[in-house]
Structure 1
Amino acid sequence: MRKLMTNHFQSLNEYVYNIQMDISATAAATYIIMNDTIVNEWYSGRHDSSEVSRIVDEKTEFNVGSIRKTYLGLAISLLVEQDLIRSIDEEVADYLHEYKGVIKGITLRHLLTHTHGLFEDRGEMSREFRAGENWAYRNIGINMLIRLVSNLSGKTLSTFMQDVVFEIYKLNDTGWRTENHEHLIYNYYDDKDTWVGPNDSHSGDQGNLFISARDLAMWWYIHLKKGCLNGNQLLPKSVFERVTSLATPKTVPPHLPRNGYIWWLQNDTPLNQLGERLPSCSYQILGITGCACLVVPEFNAVVVRMYNQLSNSSEYDYLSDIRQFGNLANDLLRSYSI
């Protein structure tokens, strides 16, 4: 891939830096691919607050929080492609027999779009609403999908993705990590109340997925190009088309978010994470550490930002921030393409 650096996106880098200061993140990065060219690559800060901490660079791997769930979404699409899943409208209990009864009527589609209505309290599973009638972002459905991948593929999520995706696309700076390394921003695990949870499993069932800014941009670039890289169709187009197409049930009220296979799709709703100026074909994902990736097919572009956010100030509004980030990216991409 060509690299053609330009100062055209400097205002986006400055915006990301200002938010970095607002949220007390010690590290930040941006990475933009447009028209098959790297047009912006920017790094800021250190791995932690120590003056001797490693300076952030292209080798730095960030904990990406819930962005990890899009890797799960692609794993589900691969299982559909392999006919191990016949349809996402099949009931979850048909695959996970241990949940029969309590999840009757809940389909894989409901899990993928956060419309299942399940919640867990002190180990007890209950329903808050009937499947397909509302939307609520909870990890209980994600955990079921991770178990499903393991049951059907015979591999853990991390091994499945390494064998089927990471290796063929050369995503070498991506993986579920359990031990510190000089390239990892690992200060999350110094706090017993860490946002991202435990990190003692290699299986892909925890929030310990670390990725460099470059690899994250390449992950979304692969989606943008529908699996084609350097002229080679390494996985079927349908695998990628499936995950970024509307999957939310039609029964979900129109004011609620719309999702593909976990991805947020552009939609004019109060909870939508995408800036309102972004084209209708855009899609995005965001993690609790502040990392985000935006794909804008209209401009043939991928925009990544990275943070190691550990807390929120009382004045910080993440929804306002991510929308502003998207709108600014849209305006700069549009003007750069003219």
Structure 2
Amino acid sequence: MLNLKISNNKAFIELNEYVSQVKNKISATAAATYIIHNDHIVNEWYSGVHDNSKHSRLVDEESQFNVASVRKTFLGFAISLALLEDKVRSIDDLVVDYLNEVDRDALRHITIRHLLTHTHGLSDLHNRLFLQGTDWKYNNTGVNLLTEIIRKVYKIPLSQLLEERLFSPMGFSQTGWRKENNEKLVWLNEQYKDDLGNQANLFMSTKELAFWGYLHLNKGAINGKQILPKEIFEQTTTIISPPDLEQQLPRNGFFWFVQDEPRANTELGDKLPHGSFQSLGATGCACLVIPKCKTVAVRMYNQTGQNPLGYDYLEDIKTFGDLVCKYIEDL
């Protein structure tokens, strides 16, 4: 695990207040922020309790949040690893070349690239919304297919692969897929059938999600030593979206949203510099990496309900990113 100097900076008080206000607006009980800048922890903040029960645990550095769709960045890591190790030949390979028991007509001409960038056009495993590569739609159909590809080529579940190749070597002891509650989990009162990595039940501490971003910022190097292959991180955070998408649609790497220019439908704030990348989950958890500023910013929530009237999640996450940029510039 990484050891960075802590130098909490008062510049982020307003950012934490903003995160706290949003916590109340979306009826979350728990929130946290963690910011690394120039190899220093410049902001670490925790607020609230794990749930609404009478004696609920206070949120602290050991609290593990369900990061929801942020889990997809770990799947992206696994696909990149598979490419590096020749388990997968190319992101332009057809999905049906790896999976036999699928609807081959529905998946015709769909590639791994389309799955990684939400441009596959599938509404489910049997039906299409649009022709692959022509539009963008966020859903889990492509995620499920890629998870199965990983299981097929490595012959072990995604969670086991990541534990062996990432979590254990990097000392990530507060990260993993969980199907049973414990006192350190910010539980969502959901039922999960397994912990194999194919469900949205990846829990992480705020610090370890920030260090996940920090690994990307440094392209797999820690303290100047290359711990994980640089190529993985370069690949996963480079835009691979099909070239003919409409201007307002997001551009993605291996699930990461990547900034090239301001776009209406992306989750990246307009003030974020070129090359910034981010992942956001439905619970409100987010990991933002700003290479040009040598910064990683994480926020955590435990939102479970519908977005309240008047709350725009895209406006909120863009504001978070823009505020991070603003306060980093003030340091």
When the two structures are superposed, what TM-score results if normalisation uses the length of structure 1? 0.94
CA distance in 2 between counterparts of 1:113 and 1:264 reads 9
1:86-235 to structure 2, matched below 5 A, reads 86-99=89-102, 100-120=104-124, 125-189=126-190, 198-235=191-228
CA distance in 2 between counterparts of 1:188 and 1:313 reads 20
The answer to whether the 8 Å contact 1:188/1:310 transfers is no
1:11-160 to structure 2, matched below 5 A, reads 11-99=14-102, 100-120=104-124, 125-160=126-161
Shift of 1:126: 1.0
CA distance in 1 between counterparts of 2:149 and 2:92 reads 14
Report the more deviating stretch, 99-108 or 282-291. Answer: 99-108
CA distance in 1 between counterparts of 2:218 and 2:75 reads 19
The answer to whether the 8 Å contact 1:243/1:260 transfers is yes
Aligned to 1:194: none
The answer to whether the 8 Å contact 1:33/1:301 transfers is yes
Residues 16-61 of structure 1, C-alpha deviation per residue, up to 9 Å, x if partnerless? 0010111111100000011111111000000111241100000000
The answer to whether the 8 Å contact 2:92/2:112 transfers is yes
Aligned residue for 2:330, secondary structure, equals helix
Aligned to 1:268: 262
- Percent identical pairs in the alignment equals 47
Shift of 1:72: 0.3
Aligned to 2:304: 310
Aligned residue for 1:182, secondary structure, equals coil
Shift of 1:14: 0.5
The answer to whether the 8 Å contact 1:244/1:263 transfers is yes
Shift of 1:70: 0.5
Match of 1:331 among 321, 326, 331: 326
Aligned residue for 1:187, secondary structure, equals coil
CA distance in 1 between counterparts of 2:255 and 2:9 reads 33
Shift of 1:5: 1.5
Q: Number of aligned pairs?
A: 325
The answer to whether the 8 Å contact 1:113/1:258 transfers is yes
Structure 2 counterpart of 1:23, one-letter code? I
Shift of 1:66: 0.4
Aligned residue for 1:205, secondary structure, equals coil
Residues 142-185 of structure 1, C-alpha deviation per residue, up to 9 Å, x if partnerless? 00000000000111000000000111111110000011111001
When the two structures are superposed, what TM-score results if normalisation uses the length of structure 2? 0.96
Shift of 1:219: 0.6
CA distance in 2 between counterparts of 1:278 and 1:268 reads 9
Aligned to 2:245: 252
Kindly report the root-mean-square deviation, in angstroms, between the aligned alpha carbons of the 2 structures.
1.1
The answer to whether the 8 Å contact 2:65/2:185 transfers is yes
Gap regions ≥5 residues in structure 2 = none
Aligned residue for 1:152, secondary structure, equals helix
The answer to whether the 8 Å contact 1:177/1:209 transfers is yes
Structure 2 counterpart of 1:333, one-letter code? I
Aligned to 2:317: 322
CA distance in 2 between counterparts of 1:305 and 1:128 reads 33
4+ residue stretches of structure 1 with deviation over 3 A? none
Aligned residue for 1:97, secondary structure, equals coil
Residues 74-118 of structure 1, C-alpha deviation per residue, up to 9 Å, x if partnerless? 000000010111110111111112223321111000000000111
CA distance in 1 between counterparts of 2:223 and 2:152 reads 33
Residues 182-207 of structure 1, C-alpha deviation per residue, up to 9 Å, x if partnerless? 10011332xxxxxxxx4121110001
Shift of 1:253: 2.4
The answer to whether the 8 Å contact 2:11/2:330 transfers is no
Shift of 1:11: 0.7
CA distance in 1 between counterparts of 2:11 and 2:161 reads 39
CA distance in 1 between counterparts of 2:193 and 2:105 reads 32
Structure 2 counterpart of 1:224, one-letter code? L
